[in-house]
Amino acid sequence: MAKNQTLSELQESLYKIIRSQTKPDELLSLIIEKPPLSISNRIQIYQDAYRIRLFESIQEDFARVQEKAGPAAFKEMISHFIKMIPSKTKNLAEYSVDFPPFVENHYPSLYTLACLDWLEILSEKAPDPCDQLSPQEIQNGIPFTVKLHPATHLQKIGIEYWCSFRKLDKIYVKSFDKIEFEFLLKLMTPHSIHQVIDTCRGMGFPEDALQNKLSYWIENEIIFCERAL
């Protein structure tokens, strides 16, 4: 019962009311009535404000979907999403993670765009590498391994292979061929240069193209050189 809750538990319960858009009677009885607004009206104001923020967050996060669907249809989609999948998190970015699966189930023609928008979010929010070597340090012979950059995210969507990455704080989302995609997946774990070459051979990746690919990936911060442990 609400009357046995601690202050922190009561605060969390009230927050759940706002997120879930419900009004449990046992909690309403603990809120002091302060005219001219009723308890229900005051809670409704907070719920409406929270719903508007959720709505705005989805709009900001999924620009490709909005452009393709059109503003009116996109607003209907968001309303449908919020109604079907109430927020269970305090973090708006975490709430957006449920939007692509929702689009896949209810608006499948827009699923690829929703995934690309989400990949862009993941790259934007990712941290920078902790121990990235500079070109000068590499030239000085400091041992290193090659690894996928934390801001690089890979996803197969349908029959296409996509990569999002961040270069100089700008986000890019591009399609890759299958072998390049699978090669980059291998670099989610650190590889020495010798391991990179062995992996290249094992996958049938053209060795004469590897140097150019490595240069392109490093230049675009898709992968990075990490100090070897």
133-189 pLDDT, tens digit per residue, is 888 888 888 999 999 999 999 999 999 999 999 999 999 999 999 999 999 999 999
Residue 31 exposed, middle or buried by CB count within 10 Å (0-12, 13-18, 19+): middle
Residues 179 and 73 reside in one and the same domain: no
> What DSSP element (H or E) covers 11?
helix 7-20
Residues 94 and 148 reside in one and the same domain: no
Domain end (from 71, 92, 120) = 120
Residue 195 exposed, middle or buried by CB count within 10 Å (0-12, 13-18, 19+): middle
73 pLDDT band (50/70/90 cuts)?
A: very high
Kindly tell me if the per-residue pLDDT of 38 is higher than 70: no
Task: Determine, yes or no, domain membership for 127.
Answer: no
Task: Determine, yes or no, domain membership for 152.
Answer: yes
How far is 83 from 8, CA to CA, in rounded Å? 27
Residues 13 and 87 reside in one and the same domain: yes
Is residue 152 within 8 Å of residue 165, measured between CB atoms?
yes
Is residue 213 within 8 Å of residue 179, measured between CB atoms?
no
Q: In the structure encoding, which two tokens stand for residue 222, read together?
A: 């898709």
Residues 116 and 198 reside in one and the same domain: no
pLDDT at 107: 97
Residues 160 and 82 reside in one and the same domain: no
Which range marks the domain in which residue 205 is found? Answer: 135-227
